[in-house]
Chains A and B, each alone.
Chain A
Amino acid sequence: DTGVSQDPRHKITKRGQNVTFRCDPISEHNRLYWYRQTLGQGPEFLTYFQNEAQLEKSRLLSDRFSAERPKGSFSTLEIQRTEQGDSAMYLCASSLVEYREGANTQYFGPGTRLTVL
């Protein structure tokens, strides 16, 4: 158990519906990352936060996707008007940024598996 939790673990929705996922990082971690993983592929980076600031977004994160981390603790990832191509595992990771050698390891949660019918 890495300490990163995600909710829900599974979500089935119909095309066109909106969905929201939640990630709770390890409590003292100041960075939070979202990744997406499709079948047979490794995870792909979507976006990350330093505290409440969203510092980078991948081109994979279309306008239908939005992520927030309002108080620098938990984060939400919302997908609007879902499409079948959004079906994937959505993974959250967190890390503690420390400016010393060997720090900044990312720890992953169990993921949310989204199925869009």
Chain B
Amino acid sequence: DAKTTQPPSMDCAEGRAANLPCNHSTISGNEYVYWYRQIHSQGPQYIIHGLKNNETNEMASLIITEDRKSSTLILPHATLRDTAVYYCIVRVNFGNEKLTFGTGTRLTIIP
């Protein structure tokens, strides 16, 4: 699987949009971008994924650049409960489907 690069930490004010970047410059054409988050001492929680189109669900939006070399996860109105480590992962959808986690971005929401 391609590797990803994320900033180690970010802060965001409560109520503002949190924009978490991810670089995946070596992504292959059949690899999806997945985002998970992990709140302290809990299992990772799936957030969203996409291939090349922007995606939105009840939790977040995912913006993927046209060349697919980077993406941004957007939490539109951050709350204190969004404080977590956010992982950006690229993987194929069929075949070798294990997730390869990096160290992620530790997002802290400031009251």
- Chain A interface residues (CB < 8 Å from chain B): 2, 4, 31, 33, 35, 40-45, 48, 56, 89, 91, 93, 95, 97, 99, 101-111, 113
**Are A42's CB and B87's CB within 8 A?**
yes
Instruction: Categorize the interface residue count of chain B.
Output: 20 to 34
Contacts of B32 on A, CB cut-off 8 Å?
102
Q: 22 pairs across A/B with beta carbons < 8 Å?
A: A2-B43, A2-B46, A4-B43, A33-B99, A40-B103, A42-B87, A42-B101, A42-B102, A42-B103, A45-B98, A91-B44, A93-B44, A93-B99, A101-B51, A102-B49, A103-B93, A104-B94, A106-B46, A106-B97, A107-B46, A111-B42, A113-B41
- Least CB distance from A99 to B in Å reads 7
**Are A45's CB and B100's CB within 8 A?**
yes
Contact among B43, B49, B87 with A105 in the assembled complex (CB-CB below 8 Å): B49
**B45 at the A interface (CB under 8 A):** yes
- Chain B interface residues (CB < 8 Å from chain A): 32, 34, 36, 41-46, 49, 51, 87, 93-94, 96-104
Chain A interface, DSSP helix/strand/loop, else mixed: loop
**Are A108's CB and B102's CB within 8 A?**
no
Given contacts A35-B99, A104-B93, 8 further A-B contacts (CB under 8 A): A31-B97, A91-B44, A93-B99, A101-B51, A105-B34, A108-B36, A108-B45, A113-B41
